[in-house]
């Protein structure tokens, strides 16, 4: 960062401070990760200087030999990694990828069906404050009140009633395996197209530790920066029959020039995810989440659905006399960073909900394993119990920093 330091000391100081924060805290935000240095370097490369509207071999400006080469690499590796017929690597992020999926598969005003935000769905799955809830006639399914699992019979019932053109499955806060085949059956039964949004779990899907929707969904969307551990970006995969519609939806319908520096970094992330050790990484993410779930259960916490099958867990903290906001603020003071999160059928406000969401992708990238997960849960328990005792939180923070020192950021 020598040039940044010379040109702009203010920005340099901010970046260095954030670097330190990421190194010295335990990051449990389920949607975050640490990319490799190779991915970071490609993100800061000269590819940021190039305009390349269009697709490889069909661009609007000259000088595309190397942008074509890198986009083709990313597309080919994406196809290999996910076994997809067609891959578009141009979406700027997960939300634009979902917007493109709607654009390709239905018209404004059409009925669409997705998981409700309060049950773990994403804003772009039809929530009222989002474009998807404004442009489309959006309907929702949730989870069962007792089990907290998706009730597929209920999804089918709602789908038959609202006759959606598009069904979205996938979530931001659902700790269990998603049965994509059942969603595909329901979509077929009601004549809807199925979009599987695997933003959170794409790394697990790539590694084979979560079932893949690629064979059964019409379109699969994803971010690239969560469990997949790539640069910030978005991704669309589809059957060949939708390839043209998807490509046209991304460009020229919704976006202009692709971010080639991000696409180059994504090509690297795909290469990394194709290595055998990525499978071990993804399996460890899940083992770590399970170890945390067991530790919380042993300490008498209430977990949504009782546990986890993937990289995240939702902990109801109200049984400990706390709230999501109080707990996450106390934990942050202690150097353990997560987010407050609604739990299914939450009676509290989304600004101070009943739960916290905890994810293991980042700590697993640092090499932490089950023993460290149990220690983190012990600190979390102590922080929540002593939310207004700054001395205790400060002491935990010191211990957290020591652990972070033993597991440096790659």
Residues annotated within the binding site are 117, 121-123, 240, 349-351
Q: Is 51 a catalytic residue?
A: yes
Strands 339-341 and 58-59: unpaired
Best CA proximity match to 168, nearest among 190, 189, 139? 139
Residue number with the smallest Cβ distance to ligand PLP: 94
Q: Which stretch binds ligand PLP (CB under 6 A): 196-204, 322-330, 344-352, 396-404?
A: 196-204
Q: Is 290 a catalytic residue?
A: no
Neighbours of 326 (CB within 10 A): 18
Contacts 24+ apart (CB under 8 A), 77-81: 77/267, 77/270, 77/271, 77/274, 78/235, 78/237, 78/266, 78/270, 80/270, 80/274, 81/206, 81/270, 81/273, 81/274
211: DSSP letter: -
Q: Is 232 a catalytic residue?
A: yes
**Closer CB to ligand PLP, 122 or 193, in the complex:** 122
**Closer CB to ligand PLP, 111 or 339, in the complex:** 339
Residue 150 as a binder of ligand PLP (CB under 6 A): the answer is: no
Q: What is the DSSP string of 92-140?
A: SSHHHHHHHHHHHH--TT-EEEEE-GGGT--GGGT-TTSHHHHHSEEEE
Residue 170 as a binder of ligand PLP (CB under 6 A): the answer is: yes
Burial of 137 (0-12, 13-18, 19+ CB in 10 A): middle
Which position among 223, 227, 323, 364 bears the catalytic label?
A: 223
Which position among 32, 50, 53, 399 bears the catalytic label?
A: 53
Least gap, CB of 174 to ligand PLP (angstroms):
9
Residue 132 as a binder of ligand PLP (CB under 6 A): the answer is: no
Beta bridge partners of 310: none
Residue 172 as a binder of ligand PLP (CB under 6 A): the answer is: yes
Cβ-proximal residues to 50 (8 Å cutoff; 6+ apart), any chain:
63, 66, 67, 260
Which position among 226, 229, 366, 397 bears the catalytic label?
A: 226
**Closer CB to ligand PLP, 231 or 324, in the complex:** 231
Best CA proximity match to 260, nearest among 72, 101, 84? 72
Residue 228 as a binder of ligand PLP (CB under 6 A): the answer is: no
Tokens linked to 81: 């990694």
Q: Is 223 a catalytic residue?
A: yes
Least gap, CB of 381 to ligand PLP (angstroms):
27
Q: Which residues are annotated as a binding site for (6S)-5,6,7,8-tetrahydrofolate?
A: 117, 121-123, 240, 349-351
**Closer CB to ligand PLP, 95 or 284, in the complex:** 95
Beta bridge partners of 87: 237
Least gap, CB of 223 to ligand PLP (angstroms):
4
What is the footprint of ligand PLP within residues 12-41 (CB under 6 A)? 31
Least gap, CB of 2 to ligand PLP (angstroms):
30
Binding mask 109-128 for ligand PLP (x = CB under 6 A): -------------x-x----
Q: Which residues of 63-88 are buried (b: 16+ CB within 10 A; e: fewer)?
A: ebeebbebbebbbebbbebbebebbb
Distance from CA of residue 118 to its chain's centroid?
17
Least gap, CB of 383 to ligand PLP (angstroms):
25
Beta bridge partners of 219: 195, 238
Beta strands in 272-354 (DSSP E): 302-303, 312-316, 336-337, 339-341
Question: Rounded distance, CA 354 to CA 351, Å?
Answer: 10
Residues 101 and 245 sit within 8 Å (Cβ to Cβ): no
What is the footprint of ligand PLP within residues 67-106 (CB under 6 A)? 93-95, 98
Q: Which stretch binds ligand PLP (CB under 6 A): 152-160, 165-173, 261-269, 396-404?
A: 165-173
Least gap, CB of 327 to ligand PLP (angstroms):
21
Binding test (CB under 6 A) with ligand PLP, winner from 27, 140, 200, 311: 200
Least gap, CB of 157 to ligand PLP (angstroms):
23
Residue 199 as a binder of ligand PLP (CB under 6 A): the answer is: yes
Residue ranges that bind ligand PLP, judged by CB under 6 A: 31, 93-95, 98, 122, 124, 170-172, 197, 199-200, 223
Active site residues: 51, 53, 197, 223, 226, 232
């Amino acid at each position: 960062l020598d040039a940044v330091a010379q040109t702009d000391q203010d920005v340099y100081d901010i970046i260095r401070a954030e670097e330190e924060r990421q190194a010295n805290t335990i990051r449990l935000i389920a949607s975050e990760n640490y990319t490799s240095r190779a991915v970071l370097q490609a993100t800061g490369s000269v590819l940021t200087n190039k305009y390349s509207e269009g697709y490889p071999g069909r661009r609007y400006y000259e000088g595309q030999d190397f942008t074509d080469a890198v986009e083709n690499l990313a597309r080919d590796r994406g196809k290999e990694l996910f076994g997809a017929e067609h891959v578009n690597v141009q979406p700027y992020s997960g939300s634009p990828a979902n917007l493109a999926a709607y654009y390709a598969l239905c018209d404004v005003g059409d009925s669409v069906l997705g998981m409700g935000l309060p049950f773990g769905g994403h804003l772009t799955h039809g929530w009222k404050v989002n474009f998807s809830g404004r442009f489309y006639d959006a309907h929702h399914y949730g989870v069962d009140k007792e089990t907290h699992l998706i009730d597929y019979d209920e999804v089918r019932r709602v789908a038959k009633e609202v006759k959606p053109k598009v069904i979205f499955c996938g979530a931001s806060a659902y700790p269990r395996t998603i049965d994509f085949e059942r969603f595909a059956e329901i979509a077929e039964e009601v004549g809807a197209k199925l979009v599987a949004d695997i933003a959170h779990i794409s790394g697990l899907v790539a590694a084979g530790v979560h079932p893949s929707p690629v064979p059964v969904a019409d379109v699969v969307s994803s971010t690239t920066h969560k469990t997949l551990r790539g640069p910030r970006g978005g991704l669309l995969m589809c059957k060949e029959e939708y390839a043209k519609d998807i490509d046209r939806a991304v460009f020229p319908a919704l976006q202009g020039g692709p971010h080639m520096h991000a696409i180059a970094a994504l090509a690297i992330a795909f290469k990394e995810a194709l290595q055998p050790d990525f499978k071990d990484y993804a399996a460890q993410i899940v083992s770590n989440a399970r170890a945390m779930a067991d530790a919380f259960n042993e300490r008498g916490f209430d977990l949504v659905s009782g546990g986890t099958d993937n990289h995240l867990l939702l902990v109801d903290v109200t049984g400990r006399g706390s709230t999501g906001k109080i707990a996450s603020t106390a934990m942050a003071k202690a150097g353990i960073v997560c987010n407050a999160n609604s739990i299914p059928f939450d009676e509290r406000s989304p600004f101070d909900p009943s739960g916290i969401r905890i994810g293991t992708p980042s700590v697993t990238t640092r090499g932490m394993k089950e023993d460290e997960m149990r220690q983190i849960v012990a600190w979390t328990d102590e922080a929540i119990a002593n939310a207004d005792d700054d001395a205790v939180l400060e002491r935990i923070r010191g211990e957290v920093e020591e652990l972070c020192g033993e597991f440096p950021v790659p």
